[in-house]
Amino acid sequence: MVPGFLSLSLSRLGLWASGLVLVLGFFKLIHLLLRKQKLARAMDSFPGPPTHWLFGHTLEIQQTGSLDKVVSWAHQYPCAHPLWFGPFIGFLNIYEPDFAKAVYSRGDPKASDVYDFFLQWIGKGLLVLEGPKWFQHRKLLTPGFHYDVLKPYVSVFAESTRIMLDKWEEKAREDKCFDIFCDVGQMALDTLMKCTFGKGDSGLGHRDSSYYLAVSNLTLLMQQRLESFQYHNDFIYWLTPHGRRFLRACQVAHDHTDQVIRERKAALQDEKEREKIQNRRHLDFLDILLGARDEDGIKLSDMDLRSEVDTFMFEGHDTTTSGISWFLYCMALYPEHQQRCREEALEILGDRDAFQWDDLGKMTYLTMCIKESFRLYPPVPQVYRQLSKPVTFVDGRSLPAGSLISLHIYALHRNSAVWPDPEVFDPLRFSPENVSRRHPFAFMPFSAGPRNCIGQQFAMNEMKVVTALCLLRFEFSLDPSRLPIKIPQLILRSKNGIHLHLKPLGPGSGK
Ligand code: HEM
């Protein structure tokens, strides 16, 4: 039994605690309302779609078809419009090349209202870092993407693709359509593990597959969190079932990255292995991280190391998975372009059976098709910034420091003022003459400016090798009853997968 005086002080304590929570809650609310007022006032000169006082535009953007909804808003409100994720977070959503240039040619920081949601998962790696530390890490990691490092990856891409294509050969025998997205994802993770993390054996282990599934979950949950204002507060989110699912998936992802780091550290203990690595002319990404020292000779902390590995592990496979899958969908949709890419690949290959580094520069038609599929299906459909100083756009309207910007890459790439007949798949938009006539910020699948994608060249090489090999082995066609439904989940996915019909082609078949 609780003595009387103790129960009295417990109830007093409870009262004080509730009072404190109420006062803190009150101050937080005032802070949020003031911020909302400031953000809204800054966007006064930008008309936009009607906003719900509580949900903002989230009711519309949570729905299937939200990407095309934004394209229709973009028609109505040229250049930019306010976009509210709930009552307190309001972005200026931009989709016009000069507007994009005004912000993305400078190095403004990422919008913490969005990117902080990543912290529990990928920590402060290159994607989220800011300031001098970002600069230091970017400088450190750039040599990991030097073209001498990338050259030998051509055969790694081919080997991982072969494993996937053999699997598809089995599936194609059943003469049914199947979803290619997951297999492409496993292949992209396999190549990344081999190229940047030096994984030796072929094929994914059980741990890698769990990691792959965890990432699918994490991107889904992150997008849901962004679009549900009630989940924006950390404290509330971690108490919800979604928040707990997110933490469990983070654990799976971290177990995977920890294992990768542990294995490489153990290998470095081995004299022979260390010699082998030191004798390599170019170090891979993990070598660079483990060998990094600052001016005072201090190594990267374990936390920094893990954040970079987590960042690259995610950014390096999920984006290319989306790119390759939507490209194959485009090829199925447009058989004439598919056949032209195949003929080009056959011609380049001649009587050889493997692509080499020099071949990649010759894949001109395939490259134009890849870019056209990036235009219509950008693997990263939206990126966010917070202005560190005021900006004035070409039309004279301006925004003060602190304003939030969302670059809607998907809507930019379908902006009819820049792209005539934007829905038409026309690879010739990317012929050198047409590119030279276009605004340099009209096409931004890898973003642009100082915070552009560090893995751009790696990704383009992988896209070329993998897709050329796919087209040489199979003819791709659609399942009209199961067309993909685009949804943004940090990357562009399909709600119902990407179901294609694959017809094996004989060896050396140009059809
Ligand atoms: C088709 C494939 C890819 C696409 C479309 C893509 C797109 C992008 C975009 C749009 C950004 C800017 C993100 C933002 O501002 O929030 C970005 C950043 C980044 N990407 Fe990629 N990416 C791809 C592949 C890769 C690969 C293969 C890697 C690594 C191996 C990679 C690593 C990164 C990193 C680390 C950043 C952050 C860079 C920084 O802020 O300094 N990406 N990517």
Res 511: pLDDT: 41
Delimit the domains of the chain by residue range. 59-504
pLDDT in tens, 42-66: 999 999 999 999 999 999 999 999 9
Strands 404-408 and 89-94: parallel
| DSSP at 230 | G
- The answer, yes or no, to whether residue 493 has pLDDT greater than 90, is yes
Q: What mean pLDDT comes out for the span 296-323?
A: 92
- The answer, yes or no, to whether residue 5 has pLDDT greater than 70, is no
* Known binding positions: 453
Q: What mean pLDDT comes out for the span 466-492?
A: 97
In short, whether 70's Cβ falls inside 6 Å of ligand 1 is: no
- Report the distance separating Cα 369 and Cα 350, nearest Å: 21
Q: What mean pLDDT comes out for the span 120-138?
A: 95
In short, whether 106's Cβ falls inside 6 Å of ligand 1 is: no
In testing the pocket of ligand 1, which one of 311, 319, 462 has its CB within 8 Å of the most ligand atoms?
A: 319
Among candidate residues 410, 396, 394, the one with its CA nearest the CA of residue 488:
410
Contact 457, 150 (CB under 8 A): yes
In short, whether 315's Cβ falls inside 6 Å of ligand 1 is: yes
Going from the Cα of 29 to the center of ligand 1, the distance in angstroms, rounded, reads 35
Going from the Cα of 133 to the center of ligand 1, the distance in angstroms, rounded, reads 18
CA of 322, closest atom in ligand 1: 1
Contacts 24+ apart (CB under 8 A), 434-438: none
Strands 178-179 and 499-504: antiparallel
Res 3: pLDDT: 64
Q: What mean pLDDT comes out for the span 352-379?
A: 97
Share of the chain above pLDDT 70, in %: 95
Contact 414, 97 (CB under 8 A): no
Res 470: pLDDT: 98
Going from the Cα of 116 to the center of ligand 1, the distance in angstroms, rounded, reads 17
CATH annotation of 59-504:
1.10.630.10
Contact 471, 497 (CB under 8 A): no
Q: What mean pLDDT comes out for the span 117-143?
A: 94
DSSP 56-112: BTHHHHTSTTHHHHHHHHHHHSSSEEEEEETTTEEEEEE-SHHHHHHHHTTTPPB-H
- Report the distance separating Cα 127 and Cα 314, nearest Å: 10
- Report the distance separating Cα 502 and Cα 81, nearest Å: 42
- The answer, yes or no, to whether residue 399 has pLDDT greater than 90, is yes
Higher local confidence (pLDDT), 29 or 508: 29
In short, whether 453's Cβ falls inside 6 Å of ligand 1 is: yes
Average pLDDT over the chain reads: 92
